[in-house]
Amino acid sequence: MCLAAAAECAPISTDGLENIVGAITTISTARTTSPTGSGESSGAIAALGGKTQPRASELIGASRAEETVANIVFPLVAAYAENNGDRTLYETAKAYYSRLPAAPSNSVTRLASSQLFEESATARRFIKTTRQQQGLMQIFHDFCVNDKSACRTCQFPDLVHRWAAPQA
Encode pLDDT of 139-152 as tens digits.
Answer: 888 888 776 666 77
Encode pLDDT of 56-96 as tens digits.
Answer: 667 777 778 888 888 888 888 888 889 989 999 889 888 88
Residue with the larger pLDDT of the pair 3 and 37: 3
Contact criterion met (CB below 8 Å) for 84 and 118: no
Encode pLDDT of 150-167 as tens digits.
Answer: 677 788 888 888 888 777
Surface-to-core class of residue 51, CB atoms within 10 Å of its CB (0-12 exposed, 13-18 middle, 19+ buried): exposed
pLDDT at 39: 42
Residue with the larger pLDDT of the pair 15 and 73: 73
pLDDT at 78: 87
pLDDT at 57: 67
pLDDT at 87: 92
Residue with the larger pLDDT of the pair 36 and 104: 104
What is the Cα–Cα distance from 145 to 143, expressed in whole angstroms? 6
Q: What are phi and psi of 28, to 5 degrees?
A: -65, -15
pLDDT at 28: 33
